[in-house]
Structure 1
Amino acid sequence: MFKITFLIGLFIIVSSAPSEEWWRDTFIYQVYPRSFKDSNGDGIGDINGITSKLEHLADLNVSAFWISPFFKSPMSDFGYDISNFTDIDPIFGTLDDFSKLITKAKSLNLKVILDFVPNHSSDQHPWFQKSIKRIVPYDNYYVWRNATYVNSTRRPPNNWLSVTRGSAWTWNEVRQQYYLHQFSFFQPDLNFRSSALNKEMKNALSFWTKRGVDGFRIDAIIHAFEDDRFLDEPVKPNTGLPANHPDTLDHIYTRNQNETYQLLRSWRNHLDAMNGTKKIILTESYTTLDELNHSMRYYEYGADIAFNFMFVTSFNNSSAPTDFKKGIEKWLALMPKGNYSSNWVVDNHDNNRVSARFGKIRADQLTMVAAVLPGVGVVYYGDEIGMEDTWLSYNETVDPIGCNAGPENYHITSRDPARTPFQWDSSTSAGFSTNKTTWLRVNSNYHTLNLAAQKTTPYSHYSIFKKLVKLKMMPVIKMGTVEIISIIDMVFVIVRRVPGTHPIVLLINFTDRNVSFDAANHLNIPTNMSVYATSSQNSYTDGMSINTSSLVLIPAVSVILM
């Protein structure tokens, strides 16, 4: 037992009054279509599968779901390499299927958000094939540059590196130029300095808006423009990384360019000019804690939610309460003035799941933090049941980033472990498909870790999640002050208060031992409080009375008192 006798680190911020926008202080749920539900037995999830499970999302009471790309694609990057921005790949269904999904979602009061992937297309897109042949206006739809030559040897135009490692330039023999790809070679970057290309992409936004979508999550927006001087990017000293690793460069010429923000403003204006309700824009703007000013600018230029990935990329099982405290304080302090909403991304399709990053015992921790903090919580399919990463051999790996890393390193870069099929029940393929073979192997723990089993269990990830969604809607979460506290860098605390009402308190023990302290005195909370939700039902039960003057937190527990 470790007994705490004093407190450090208090931060208070006043949350603004809620507005009428539907996304305020709600949870948004990400659907990865290949892995959500297979309706036709081919082992791959599809649109009709999503439609068949919308009651589950309505039951969770999330406000919206956003769907990763289902557009026509060669599937070299499983949908993020698009060959037609206004059609659906037959693997997933048809436009008629999508219309049925929209109709059912609206009947269940669920909003639908689509992935918009504007940075690049597939190299199989007709635009790119015409661009190779210099057919006007497609000749200018992509970023092409002449080669440089060193001792008569052809070299790329500059030292820019792709996100997937290696040069960001690939030579095309037909056009006799290099094309830019900030991702894989089969994903050539679009050129938004072309007015014709700009119009094409606005037409795509209009196409889906007219079909009833409620907004767009804009993929990889930080890469939309590059500096037009095409200068070499500065090399970071002493990174210890291979020379082809993108983190060896300071990306001052290829990310977050001023023109990118203007582009976002043009899309905001375009959507606002269309008839109907305001459409939400969410931007995927990966930034470090030292670069949060870039994320905040996306708010100012039209984003309703500029994704905050600190829980995903900045923190892990080694992070301390003060790390969380400093990061959250910084985000809240830097939020632009006005009617903007903060957000907290718990998981996504590009990173290991929470249970892998923080440990199975802490699988619910980040969702609990996101629920108590002001703003939107963004969760990934399976978070509501504590789904875990699935170990896959190199021969089972299909993610191109993992495959390219080779058998020795694939496990470091592959995103497949977090993309395996949703575990609905204990039947064939976890109820995801009638087919015993699925596009990625189902986690073998599905016999016990599945939605059906958790629905009949009083205390489960599922029951906790439902309580957290309900909590998010309470006035004290919408309008209360926020106090962020670190206790001896062992216990992390968030207190939400509204004058005249009782507070809500989240406490997380970051240690592997019991911690005891006088929470009533140090946190200025009532002596007697009740457990609202907890990550450990072995020591606490919902509604259990707690004497906060002699509070004992068991190892790694997260508990909400009210």
Structure 2
Amino acid sequence: MRPHTVVALVVISLIGLGQGSEWYDSGNYYQIYPRSFRDSDGDGIGDLNGVTEKLQYLKDIGFTATWLSPIFKSPMVDFGYDIADFYTIHPEYGTMEDFERLIAKAKEVGIKIILDFVPNHTSDQSEWFTKSVDSDPDYKDFYIWHDGKINEETGEREPPSNWISEFRYSAWQWNDVREQYYLHQFEYRQPDLNYRNPAVVNEMKNVIRFWLAKGVSGFRIDAIPYLFEVDLDRYNQYPDEPLTNDTEACPDPDDHCYTQHIYTQDQPETLDMVYQWRTLVDEFQEEYGGDKRLLMTEAYTSFDNMIKYYGDGVRNGSHIPFNFDFLSNINNASKAGDYVEHIEKWINSMPEGVYANWVLGNHDNKRVASRFGVQRTDLINILLQTLPGHAVTYNGEELGMTDVWISWEDTVDPPACNTDPDSYYDRSRDPARTPYQWDASSLTGFTSADHTWLPVAEDYKTNNALQQLRAPRSHLQIFKKLVRLRKETSFRQGALSIQALDDDVIIYSRQKEGSDLYVVVLNLGDSSKTIDLTKYYSLGSEAEIITTSLNSQYIDGEIINPSSFIANAYVGTVLVAVN
């Protein structure tokens, strides 16, 4: 083995690069949007039995675990993120017996199940909310209620403050029965729970314990920055939030971006709540045994806050505070240096004893292939799978699925429906939530029905899982090879040495001392470039192509001269030094 040398490269230490022995180390996590994954009963809507049916497919690809978007009883105003009963399976998705079969099958094939936990709010059809409306003593303060204030000019009652919902318009909704306003930071039928009430905190911990007892391996926790609002005890009224004063970026007073959310997001108590949940899952494991349980957290917040979710140096927090810094700040116009900056920033900011993570897509964002360009599909997956730490993949990204055009008439997503036919598409999450493309049969093999809850992609006959599994080379075949490669010692435990050569090309190595030296080359640009890789790494006179993008001039297994490596446009390549 040739010694690993680095010339003018940033060398990132082994901290957080996945050296432990837990099941989730260097894990590959697959997000399933159950409503669109596989329909087993012919109603045009995906369900739990459909997920169970496809678990072996996920295991064959090599995923460690899958997390399911909400499966709990819901009126489906926000498609499961408005939960009416945290202890019951939504009937369209199946029964508790179906869920138990899912857990049993997952254990059989060796894949972990992670549930989506939505703690910030419930549905207005929740029994808790109904009792709160009726001022039941046990539930009266389960939600955020307020009398509002009287407008001095008109004498009319109006909302307590200028707080704006994520889905537009006031975050306060009047209730005629209780004759008060309640807070909803999302759709008005999603009232916010009151985490300053110890009974709420205890009840939500009971929800976590219930599903842990059912055999889940952890939770992805939704919308965490919204858990707490400023403490009313400090004020006579809830204070108005300051305006952003950026009328060019956000001209509409009804939009969430119109105000700065200093009283409704990222309150200090929120971090403490996450640390309490971590204590809970750790104590559950200590009491009942088995593998450690995992927490993933969703927080679109500042970079510093995301890092704090790991812990405070005394208490542990989320195992995987989703790295949305990378998702939110990298796009198809980003330069190579931008990628490197965000990679280095995350890894260098992590506390000791934790793992990096990379999230490039999910159910709330446009699809990776649509955001970065279809031609970069493999390049982005190569990046995701060869960086240190955890990798999170949204269902369909391994196929290079793209956004599906959804007409105004077919749109069902609340933030889009709250707009108009001219502006809805930019706000809609529907294009990334369409049925998974299984094969070329009717309605892409998703269902036996004659309809689907959202339209299927027009290209499904040529872009589907079965076709890609049968093809000698495809996005899926490349993805599967990357997942296998990720299990090699140098990717699990090796240092990362990375730099941008210019605006287009990123190069980095992964190697643990005594193990293979791997080099990754990513050309984001639209023209080929010849690179002498031996200037940066001890590759010698020969290197093997391990895997590369579909549009590469190289093929897997080819032996090349690394001193004259050709980085084709939009191509990612993984090479290994030849002994």
Kept after mapping to 2: 8 A contact 1:8/1:487: no
Matched residue SS, 1:363: helix
Q: State which of 157, 160, 164 in structure 2 corresponds to 1:157.
A: 160
Residues 1:531 and 2:545 are matched in the alignment = yes
Q: For residues 537 and 107 of structure 1, do their structure 2 counterparts lie closer, same or farther at Cα, with a shift above 3 Å needed?
A: same
Aligned positions of 1:389-428 closer than 5 A: 389-428=403-442
Residue 3 of structure 2: aligned partner: none
Between 1:367-376 and 1:239-248, the stretch displaced more is 239-248
- Does residue 10 (structure 1) correspond to residue 9 (structure 2)? The answer is yes
In the alignment, residue 237 of structure 1 is paired with which amino acid?
A: N
More divergent stretch after superposition (519-528 vs 215-224): 519-528
Q: Partner of 1:380 in structure 2?
A: 394
Q: Which residue of 2 aligns with 1:199?
A: 202
For the residue of structure 2 that corresponds to 1:395, the secondary structure is: coil
Is contact 2:434–2:454 with CA below 8 Å preserved after alignment?
A: yes
Question: What per-residue deviation string (whole Å, max 9, x for no partner) do you get for residues 507-543 of structure 1?
Answer: 1112111112222113454342111111135511101
Q: In the TM superposition, what is the alpha-carbon distance from 1:239 to its structure 2 partner?
A: 4.5
Which residue, out of 293, 301, 308, partners 1:297?
308
Q: Is contact 1:349–1:419 with CA below 8 Å preserved after alignment?
A: yes
Task: Determine whether 1:560 maps to 2:560.
Answer: no
Using the TM superposition, name which of 67-76 and 142-151 deviates more.
Answer: 142-151
**Alpha-carbon offset, residue 363 of structure 1:** 1.3
Residue 140 of structure 1 aligns with which residue?
Answer: 141
Alpha-carbon displacement from aligned partner over 1:228-275 (angstroms, at most 9, x marks no partner): 143222222334212222223222222221111111122222222222
Provide the secondary structure at the position in 2 that maps to 1:66: strand
User: Which residue matches 1:314?
Assistant: 329
Question: Residue in 2 aligned with 1:333?
Answer: 348
Say whether the 8 Å CA contact 1:191–1:225 is kept in structure 2: yes
2:265 is aligned, of 255, 276, 282, to 255
CA-to-aligned-CA distance 1:194-241 (integer Å, 9 cap, x gap): 111122111111111111101000000111111114322222233421
Q: Partner residue of 2:42?
A: 41
2:289 counterpart of 1:276: yes
Partner Cα separation in structure 2 for residue 502 and residue 264 of structure 1: 39
How high is the TM-score relative to the length of structure 1? 0.95
Deviates more, 1:273-282 or 1:226-235: 226-235
Q: Does 2:523 correspond to 1:509? A: yes
Of 88-97 and 491-500, deviating more is 491-500
Summarize the alignment of residues 422-437 of structure 1 with structure 2, pairs less than 5 Å apart. Answer: 422-437=436-451
SS at match of 1:500: coil
Deviation at 1:36, TM superposition (A): 0.6
Q: The residue matched to 1:158 in structure 2 has which SS?
A: coil
1:394 alignment partner, SS class? coil
Deviation of the 1:476 alpha carbon: 0.6
Give a deviation string over 1:466-489, Cα, whole Å, max 9, x none. 111112111111211111210122
RMSD: 1.6
Question: How many residue pairs are counted as aligned between the two chains?
Answer: 552
3-state SS of paired residue (1:476) = helix
CA contact (8 A) 1:536 1:558 kept: no
- Provide, for residues 270-326 of structure 1, a one-character-per-residue CA deviation record: whole Å limited to 9, x for no partner: 222222232100000113xxx211011111042111001234321111111111111
Where structure 2 has 5 or more consecutive residues not aligned to the other structure, the ranges are: 1-5, 233-237
2:276 is equivalent to residue 266 of structure 1? yes
Aligned to 1:496: 510
Counterpart position of 1:366: 380
CA deviations 1:419-477 (Å, max 9, x no partner) are 11111111111111011211111111111101111111111011111111112111111
TM-score by length of 2: 0.93
Alignment-derived partner of residue 235 in structure 2: none
Give the aligned partner of residue 459 of structure 2: 445
Distance in 2 (CA, whole Å) between partners of 1:172 and 1:525 is 69
Aligned mate of 1:209, from 201, 207, 212: 212
Please say if residues 9 and 487 of structure 1, whose CA atoms lie closer than 8 Å, have aligned partners that are also in contact.
no
Residue 77 of structure 1 corresponds to 78
8 Å CA contact 2:534, 2:562 repeated in 1: yes
Q: Distance in 1 between matches of 2:350 and 2:531?
A: 33
Give yes or no for the alignment of 1:472 onto 2:486. Answer: yes
Q: Which of 173, 185, 191 pairs up with 1:188?
A: 191
In structure 1, distance between residues paired with 2:185 and 2:7: 44
Cα distance in 1 for residues equivalent to 2:7 and 2:92: 55
Please say which of residues 8-17 and 529-538 is displaced more in the overlay: 8-17
Q: Could you report, residue by residue, the CA deviation over 1:167-217 in whole angstroms, capped at 9, with x for unpaired residues?
A: 211111221211111111111100111111122111111111111101000
